[in-house]
Structure 1
Amino acid sequence: MRLSIAAVCTEALRELRARKVLSIFIVAVVAVMFLTVTLTAGRAAGLRESVVSAVDSTGVKSIFVRANPGTTLSASLLTNISQFSSVENAAAFSPATDVANVNIRGGSQVPLRTVWSPQPGLYGAFGSTAVGATMGTPGALTSIGIPSGIGAVEDAYGNQFTLSGAASLPAAAAALEPTLLKYGGRPDRLDEATVFVINVSSTSEVRATGQLVSDLLSGGGTPTFSIQTNQRLVDLQATLEAEVGVAGQSGVAGALLLAAVIIAAIQTSSILSRRKEFGRRRALGATRSLITALVLTQTLILAVIGATLGGGASTLTLLLLGVPQPPAVFFAALALLSVAVGTLGGVVPAVSASRRDPVTELRIP
């Protein structure tokens, strides 16, 4: 006897409707397993993402280089630094020039700096993508009486600069605020800077990259600059990731194993109570593979339903608890794992059902 996939699924659904209590129990087991794992490993993953995001917002993956008073840095070296494999992007800031609103004589002054980068697209992170544009941080614009960011400023020599909007600074460059920024394009050998801001791709590379930058800028001589990194926060982040990860994973294996054992026990009990039915199917020509496929399909359907309900219940529970949601990839992986564990729990019962001798089973009263 051979049946199509659609026919096997239809027959599996018919059998599940006939055994509603056992079906609901298996669905509940998978859903509870999903909820348990989410409230342990999932909650830990959500907290870890929240911690990492909070720490990253402080510029933890950045290196801040400042020239000593009376000295400058060669902005052209930034091109070499940006070529380090660990560096995502980098920017150089020129010495500050005090400027004031052209319409307010004797008004407040704020520093104006030229910013260069080997990656011109980086200027978008500061609020502009146009080389040559001049913009200001909100604090600077308010201080000079141009909160809209549209106006003009001039320095002590009468040089005027037209403002075209508001700018933002990354967390690592917060020490430069308030300031106006003029976008100078790519640095060349004649450009002089007093500050470098370098963003690395991973917190684990901050220390090594900082050392490389120091070696390049000092050239073997006495350093005329200082380098600042949030190494303590880097170390704290790594510690939190490790500790939270271990805590979240501690109960996952037990929950999965327990669910598989319970499902296997339920399916085994169900098969023992339907021995004559499987014997009759074998007598009518059903192959062992067909019986196995039928039982596994039933378990698969219940596992999918259980994982779906568990996912919904988990999301709602975390929302009610006010706990950060784990990443979407966590839910997707857990859903697949739940379905796989639930289905695997039905393997032994399915094989057992397929090996029933039809003659022996039909003799059972």
Structure 2
Amino acid sequence: MILGTTGQTIQAEADVLDLIDEAGTRSIVLIDRTGAAAIPQSAIRRIAALSTVEWVIGLGQAQDATNSAIGSGATRVAVRVIHGDLPGPPVLQHTPWHRQPGTALVGSEASGMLGLSHPAGGVDIDPWQLAVVGSFVANEPLTFLNQSILAAPSEKSDEQIRSIYVVARTPQDVAGLTDVLPELAGAVDRSGLALETSEALAAVRTAVAGELGRYGRNLVSLVLGVGLLLVGLNVYGAVTSKRRDFGRRRALGASRADIVQLVALQTVSVALVGAAAGLGIGAALVWRWTGDAPETGFTVAVGVLAVLAALAASLPPAIVAAFRDPVRVLRVP
């Protein structure tokens, strides 16, 4: 019962948080709006070294490119030099690329715009040319790159970065990164820098997670409380029906602690079997309702809590049985 109800609630909580995360709660963008900031390539290495950064890339100034095979009149597509390690799937999926100078990857939408039937060919950027050696598909927060071409940096060390895209490891890291990014960028002129953050959205995520977590904990407490009451009543009924048996044990020399231990062990034995069966059925129900199996840690925790609740519920009836007068119990027909 606990796993079936709370497991579904926790899965729903995870789905809600994933939906919020899709909107980019961990993303930060630092933009040089005027071009006067002169952000160096070394900024990417400094930012990537932070423990709160999951990944970071820098993009150079966008330039127009056309398909070399078509020539004049061809559709123009933006080319951006990319700095830093490329994010992995699902953010960016791409064909193998050694990032040699003069090579580039074409975006999933840019390929059609250029008239490339295959992700290979040449594109002209006045006054030089790039070799397209593969393709890529970008997802949030880089979907805008699908209409672009990503070029490898040249061997020149003075290439400047116009925008930096950072994803924090957690939504809580966004505020701290926002404070240090302008300084780490090493810009010559910070007046033209602009920060676009998801700090407000991250705060909403934290609030939603707190409310959903509180609801889940209250639900677990309620279910455990009801279960504890039912187990206690059931054990009390069993102890009452066996009072003569416990009376004989006491008359034969069993201590009160022995009686308490006996009742507790019997209850825990039944609880272990019930918890194992309940967890299996609950996991199957959660999988059927949500399409995902509950996490192993959560499942084990629910089982342990259920057994501990049964043990706690058995103690009051066990103590009652242990402190009954054996002589009086045996005299009652």
Label 1:223 to 1:323 Cα distance change in 2 as closer, same or farther (>3 A): farther
Q: Which residue of 2 aligns with 1:212?
A: 180
Q: Secondary structure at the match of 2:71?
A: coil
Report the TM-score when normalising by structure 1: 0.75
Identify which of 205, 217, 225 aligns with 1:257.
225
Shift of 1:345: 1.1
TM-score (norm 2): 0.82
Could you tell me how far 1:67 is from its partner in structure 2?
A: 1.6
State how 1:133-212 maps to structure 2 within 5 Å.
134-146=104-116, 148-164=118-134, 166-184=135-153, 190-212=158-180
- 2:62 matched residue in structure 1: 96
Counterpart AA for 2:67: N
Gaps of 5+ in 2: none
How far apart in 2 are the matches of 1:211 and 1:42? Answer: 38
- Post-superposition shift, 1:199? 1.2
SS of 2:65's equivalent in the other structure is strand
- Kept after mapping to 1: 8 A contact 2:119/2:132: no
Contact 1:279/1:357 (<8 A) preserved: yes
* 1:295 paired residue among 254, 263, 277: 263
Q: Which residue of 1 aligns with 2:76?
A: 109
* Deviation at residue 122 of structure 1 after TM alignment: 3.9
Matches of 1:64 and 1:199 in 2, distance apart? 9
Q: Which amino acid aligns with 2:194?
A: S
Inter-CA distance 136–332: structure 2 relative to 1 (3 Å threshold): farther
Of structures 1 and 2, the one scoring higher in RCO (CA 8 A, sep 6+) is 1
- Aligned equivalents of 2:272, 2:34: Cα separation in 1: 66
The question of whether the paired residues in 2 share the 8 Å contact of 1:291 and 1:353 is answered with yes
Q: Number of aligned pairs?
A: 326
1:54 aligned onto 2:19: yes
Q: 5 Å matches for 1:40-79?
A: 41-71=6-36, 72-79=38-45
Q: For the structure 1 residues 48 and 236, does the alpha-carbon distance in structure 2 shift closer, same or farther, using more than 3 Å as the test?
A: same
Change over 3 Å in CA distance of 1:122–1:324 after alignment to 2 = closer
Q: Are the counterparts in 2 of residues 60 and 231 from structure 1 also a CA contact under 8 Å?
A: yes
Amino acid across the alignment from 1:197 = Y
Question: Shift of the alpha carbon at 1:80?
Answer: 1.9
Give the secondary structure class of the aligned counterpart of 2:143: helix
Distance in 2, Cα, partners of 1:54 & 1:66:
26
Instruction: Call closer, same or farther: CA 1:115–1:234 in 2, change over 3 Å.
Output: same
For residues 276-315 of structure 1, what are the alpha-carbon distances to aligned partners after superposition, in whole Å with 9 as ceiling and x for unaligned?
A: 2223344556565554443223222332343344445544
TM-align CA RMSD: 3.3
Displacement, 1:92? Answer: 0.9
Deviations 1:134-191 (A, max 9, x none): 3222111222233542444343334231413x32335233334411223449x99523
Preserved CA contact (<8 Å) 2:11 2:290 = no
